[in-house]
Structure 1
Amino acid sequence: MRRIPRGMAVAVGAGLLLAACSSGTTDTTTGGATSPATETATESATPSESATDAAPVRGNEDLVIWTDDTHLAAMQAVADTYAAANGITVGVQAVTDTRAAFITANQAGNGPDVLVGAHDWIGQLVQNGAIDPLQLPADQVAKYSPTAIKAVTYDSQLYGLPYGVESLALFCNKSVVGDTTFATLDDAIAAGQKAVDAGTVESALNLPVGENGDAYHMEPLFTSAGGYLFGKDADGNYNPNDLGLDSPGGLAAAKKIGELGEKGQNVLRTSISSDNNISLFADGKAACMISGPWALNDVRKGLGNDGYTLQPIPGFKGMNPAQPFMGAQAFYVASKGKNKSFAQDFIINGVNNVDAMTTLYEKANLPPAMTAVRDSIQQDNPDFAVIAQAAEKADPMPAIPAMAEVWQPLGVAYADIVAGKDPEQSMKDAATAIRTAIAGS
């Protein structure tokens, strides 16, 4: 991954080059597909940075777009096409800590016209008055995955144009469990446990837990076992006042997770984390694994292109369907951009077409959100077709600001439950901590 120093952004477009430095992340990537764990990847200051870390400065082009470095090439490609077609200059800037930098710069009137980023930013962006609703006609909205549109809709208003989606799925090693897909998660675990008992692999099902837990990867198990995170209103908007962790279903789900933990079936383990979840599976030491498209490169390298199966995560037998979190990458119009008319036109006419969305799929390497492009890749890229199918069965990650208070306490609760602590009390403690944090935010 390329990453520019904090506080600096270099315009790319009209013949300019990106000045970039390298930085590692906490998980693997496949092209532009990055796991949520990589969003806040740590950065190292370079000698070129000032002690005050000056805010990024927008370029002087007619239209300025901000993105992160992983999606730079994709954004540059569609920006160049739009610039040539409309006789204007377009600058694409790769900005570190894109969301925070954008909010600050937009408030100062020094931000871009278009922002590119994850859908779960929307709540904070709207809370800060940083983006405008997108004026996309209904017949154009219909060209996209309904779940992707749902993800970029906030308080019943469309705020972004989605171009790529991602979700967790179930990977299994063909040489261990056979060339098959599973009707239930219980079936997959049973097949994996048979291989563990035979000494073929070390783990039946890899799911990252670690010492601090992983609420993102645990969500499909939690929802299948009856839990929910936030309730929804009649329009489908998440309600931060309806936290379901300590509801009867949430407590039952916590108990189910505990049964799979280290003092139960020993399927879920704190020794499996984001650091080794993918590598252990790719090395043939786990029968199955829950992960996302960012794992594909390592899995293909380790097991071969035909050495694994991939399917949407099934639910537990006799329980609810598994609903992992779905994520979308999208374009947004900055509320204080200098050229907002160009911004709306770029998104509605420059990006909202099959050619541009195909370019974004090829360059950003994410399952496409536009259904026509998604249909066109099914034969050549069946893995992405499966990920897209999984995303349709998933629930968009809550974009409400309250979500920021969830990750740490819920993750710790899951780690405690897996390690053998009382599931009900652990979940009640997490719910109390989250409610208190939401009330004080």
Structure 2
Amino acid sequence: MKKAYSIFLVLMLAVGILAACGPDREEGAGGNEGSNADGAKPEKLVVWEDTDRSVALEPAVKAFEEEHGIKVEFKEYGMAEDMRNQIRLDGPAGKGPDVLTLPHDQIGMLAEEGTIQEISVEQSVLDTFTESSIQAQTYDGKLYGLPKATETPVFIYNKELMSEAPATMDEVYEFSKDFTDGKKFGFIALWDNFYHAYAVIGGMGGYVFGEKDGALQSDDLGINNEGAVAGAEYIQKWYKEGLFPKGVIGESGGSAQDGLFNEGKLASVQNGPWAFQGYMDAGIDIGATPMPKLPNGEPMTTFMGVKGWHVSAYTENKEWSTKLVEFLTNYDNAKIRFETTKEIPPVKELIEDPIIADDEYSNAVAVQSQYAIPMPNIPEMAEVWGPMATALQTLATNKAEPKEAMDEAAKTIQTNIETNHSK
């Protein structure tokens, strides 16, 4: 009896091996059904979207369902803290998403902790996006998502106070010298905040982390090199000469700046596309252009933020999740996103489309993005913001010289990196 049972098991094993060696299932209309390395085509995929952005996601999801026969459910969570905290809870419990959206500066941290995973797409897919936006989705030389929208600060001005946008910061400076009287101001930028100040520091030749073989190097700091110090000197000049009001410093600076602009007491600002609607709602006739060139003749190197679509490390459907990410970011769905949310997808063909090229505000962001760099997405970037805010605020209040302030910031950042990120 035992011998017969053993023969039966051997025969069953042989049948299994022959079946495994047989031809794949016939592909369906989608082109790759049945070839999913993760197993059979799933019945459902789950997507987590940013709050109030599902208006752009819904038509894309419907089209994907019709093309591939896979149900796609979506939920909205606040970006990025709410979503980040929620996937840490739901992912390990098997209740998380297959695909989620994140700001690119979260990628390094979430990749390191194993919350999102590397994806692989054809070069033809990568080529549809701007180079900088793909760079933003890359960490340690690996691709962790595809970009869905980009934003960066631009030059915004009140057309009643400034007839046309200056081409250079020298022109902005001269205008401000004539226009500013302590009650009204020609130009304000939140240059005590490193996010905004980097436009000057980077444009003058500074940098945060050096790069080698496509990976950022946390032991190569450039925030106190010669160019960075020159940028700091330029920033301090505006504060020293009283061209920026004293109240536009620290956490309340943004509100003070917007208040002056909305009251018609401020001719121009450096601010992001998130400010457009508020200024319009205040009745200001605004114009927008890329940032004027710096005194060294170089464009301002603003920080760029890129929102992307990512594949959860907890999904059981990596291949189909990746297909969904590709689908959500293609030209047609990127165009729908712009039309419904005014978010600007970094799809090269779409940027050249009249829908963006002929839109003054969106075009300003798209053009400035060509000079922008993605905020560093490695975990060590967390150690940069605090020391740089301290350095810039000492410059704004004239409590330190530029080189002294930048050297101290670099020293603190490096110490914190060595303490908190040693491997």
Shared fold per TM-score greater than 0.5: yes
Deviation string 1:181-221 (CA, Å, 9 cap, x unpaired) is 32321211211331224x8x612211135xxx411111112
Question: How far did residue 326 of structure 1 move?
Answer: 0.8
In the alignment, the residues of structure 1 paired with residue 154 and residue 43 of structure 2 have an alpha-carbon distance, to the nearest angstrom, of 41
Matched AA of 1:69: T
Match for residue 82 of structure 1?
Answer: 64
Secondary structure of the residue aligned to 2:96 is: coil
Residue from 140, 149, 161 that aligns with 2:134: 149
In the alignment, the residues of structure 1 paired with residue 329 and residue 286 of structure 2 have an alpha-carbon distance, to the nearest angstrom, of 34
- Matching of residue 333 in structure 1 with residue 280 in structure 2: no
In the alignment, the residues of structure 2 paired with residue 61 and residue 190 of structure 1 have an alpha-carbon distance, to the nearest angstrom, of 63
- Matching of residue 267 in structure 1 with residue 212 in structure 2: no
In the alignment, the residues of structure 2 paired with residue 426 and residue 148 of structure 1 have an alpha-carbon distance, to the nearest angstrom, of 32
Match for residue 290 of structure 1?
Answer: 270
Deviation string 1:53-104 (CA, Å, 9 cap, x unpaired) is xxxxxxx971011123132332333223322333332111223411232244
Match for residue 185 of structure 1?
Answer: 169
Say which is worse superposed, 93-102 or 166-175, in terms of deviation: 93-102
**In the alignment, is the contact (CA less than 8 A) between 1:223 and 1:321 conserved in 2?**
no
- Matching of residue 310 in structure 1 with residue 285 in structure 2: no
Deviation string 1:217-253 (CA, Å, 9 cap, x unpaired) is 1111222333222222243x32111112222332232
Say which is worse superposed, 157-166 or 107-116, in terms of deviation: 107-116
Deviation string 1:323-349 (CA, Å, 9 cap, x unpaired) is 01011111111122132232112122x
Question: How far did residue 294 of structure 1 move?
Answer: 0.5
Alpha carbons of 1:410 and 1:269: their partners in 2 closer, same or farther (altered >3 Å)? farther
Matched AA of 1:111: G
In the alignment, the residues of structure 1 paired with residue 88 and residue 370 of structure 2 have an alpha-carbon distance, to the nearest angstrom, of 30
Gaps of 5+ in 2: 1-41
Question: How far did residue 296 of structure 1 move?
Answer: 0.7
**In the alignment, is the contact (CA less than 8 A) between 1:143 and 1:371 conserved in 2?**
yes
- Matching of residue 256 in structure 1 with residue 238 in structure 2: no
In the alignment, the residues of structure 2 paired with residue 416 and residue 270 of structure 1 have an alpha-carbon distance, to the nearest angstrom, of 13
- Decide which structure has the larger Cα Rg and report it: 2
**In the alignment, is the contact (CA less than 8 A) between 2:137 and 2:145 conserved in 1?**
yes
Residue from 170, 185, 188 that aligns with 1:203: 185
Gaps of 5+ in 1: 1-59
- Matching of residue 220 in structure 1 with residue 220 in structure 2: no
Deviation string 1:22-68 (CA, Å, 9 cap, x unpaired) is xxxxxxxxxxxxxxxxxxxxxxxxxxxxxxxxxxxxxx971011123
Alpha carbons of 1:244 and 1:141: their partners in 2 closer, same or farther (altered >3 Å)? same
Pairing of 1:40-439 with structure 2 (within 5 A): 62-96=44-78, 97-179=82-164, 181-197=165-181, 202-208=184-190, 213-235=192-214, 237-261=215-239, 264-272=240-248, 273-304=253-284, 307-318=285-296, 320-348=298-326, 350-376=327-353, 377-378=355-356, 381-422=359-400, 423-439=402-418
Secondary structure of the residue aligned to 2:186 is: strand
In the alignment, the residues of structure 2 paired with residue 139 and residue 342 of structure 1 have an alpha-carbon distance, to the nearest angstrom, of 18
In the alignment, the residues of structure 2 paired with residue 227 and residue 73 of structure 1 have an alpha-carbon distance, to the nearest angstrom, of 40
Matched AA of 1:394: A
Higher share in helix: 2
In the alignment, the residues of structure 2 paired with residue 352 and residue 268 of structure 1 have an alpha-carbon distance, to the nearest angstrom, of 41
Match for residue 26 of structure 2?
Answer: none
**In the alignment, is the contact (CA less than 8 A) between 1:368 and 1:388 conserved in 2?**
no
**In the alignment, is the contact (CA less than 8 A) between 1:259 and 1:265 conserved in 2?**
yes
Matched AA of 1:160: G
Secondary structure of the residue aligned to 1:289 is: strand
Say which is worse superposed, 65-74 or 407-416, in terms of deviation: 65-74
Match for residue 43 of structure 1?
Answer: none
In the alignment, the residues of structure 2 paired with residue 379 and residue 391 of structure 1 have an alpha-carbon distance, to the nearest angstrom, of 13
Say which is worse superposed, 379-388 or 280-289, in terms of deviation: 379-388
Secondary structure of the residue aligned to 1:286 is: coil
Question: TM-score if structure 1 supplies the norm length?
Answer: 0.78
Question: TM-score if structure 2 supplies the norm length?
Answer: 0.81
